[in-house]
Structure 1
């Protein structure tokens, strides 16, 4: 039996999903997307136990992107893979992409679906669709431009040049940059900060920001008012603990 394309480990409210094809630099084939889809489906139902998700890669890098050797090998619904990435982006939980080594093309599209991108100094980012005459179909053009702006997105998409980690940070692609070897400690610290806050609040903030993206301020405020979720069930307890300090 072949090893799982993506492994899952849970600990104290944190779920870590690890791309598990290190011999292929975690190249993404249909099996990887099927595994990710299954994990996302499970996480959608785990809001009582999982408050934060980390997505990372095993071996020498995060992901080299689509498995080019498998393109067209098995016909599938063209909506499936972009649909899985969209499902990842819509998880109720905050999702952190922990990036080391290569994060190219399809791997970058995967990272862009996460709420935070944290990278160490070994990370490199690129959109190499143009090298192979391909056009991004998993959300590259839309998510990349919204994250770093249209001019910077055009430069990445039309040159296929790999950005070093510090360059990616400077243009806003990377939220936090740490020294090589320091990724685990920073991910642990960031996820602990997220998990220490109300899951109800974090989930509501993520949902509201997604639902109001692109709206005018007036429309967004009206939407927020009409869909206000109220305080968390444990809010009185949290306030009481604070006032007792």
Structure 2
């Protein structure tokens, strides 16, 4: 059986690599099935503090495999891919989409399910659903507007135009732009820095931000006051290490 997804774990960093380079990592059911299994495994581990999602070869991903769409594909249920992306978004550790060259439609929905999106300067991103007579079912209408605002999301959806790296950074679609050739090393350095911080703090911050998205400020503040532990379980150990060096 071909390995559509490569999984590596080192120094607290899990790297998930889309591995269909012959098709620009086009997303099909087989890849999603492997992604689902990998995400479920990561959710059970305590040796992973950050996840990087990237693509093998010339591009991150060209999007949903059109041959899969045409054939109807094999799927457990109509919302299968969306549930896999939601599982990715629900991981308690920080997740980073490391995107290079192409990130179109389904691939953009995949990247948007991550906490952060890092790209290189040659990257182009687009939502081409309307070009193919498709409507989003993997979360585009919800996650893209939350990233860039409703008007900019509509612009991308209606025009199906390609958005370059610098514009993507300006409108908030991506979080970092690196020089071509430096994306992988810069992303890993960032992930290693994240992994040194408290996983417990990250988990609390992610859960509160997700739970309060869309609430009014006073409602969100009330939720934080009620649900944040303040001092996480590893706080005393971290403070002890700091004071021992003073």
TM-score between the two structures when normalised by the length of structure 1? 0.96
Tell me whether 220-229 or 178-187 shows the greater mean CA deviation. 220-229
> Does 2:27 match 1:34?
no
* 1:12-161 map, 5 Å: 12-46=11-45, 48-71=46-69, 72-74=72-74, 76-161=76-161
Give the corresponding residue for 1:236: 236
1:230 to partner: Cα distance? 4.5
- Counterpart CA distance in 1 for 2:74 and 2:132 is 19
For these two proteins, the number of residue pairs brought into alignment is 243
Gaps of 5+ in 2: none
- Counterpart CA distance in 2 for 1:76 and 1:87 is 15
CA deviations over 1:93-121 (Å, ceiling 9, x no partner): 10000000100000000000000000001
Structure 1 pair 120–75 and aligned structure 2 pair: CA distance change class (3 A) = closer
1:159 to partner: Cα distance? 0.5
CA deviations over 1:21-59 (Å, ceiling 9, x no partner): 00011111111111111111111111x211100000000
1:5 to partner: Cα distance? 1.1
Tell me whether 75-84 or 166-175 shows the greater mean CA deviation. 75-84
CA-based RMSD of the aligned residues comes to 1.2
TM-score between the two structures when normalised by the length of structure 2? 0.95
1:186 to partner: Cα distance? 1.0
SS in 1 for 2:118: strand
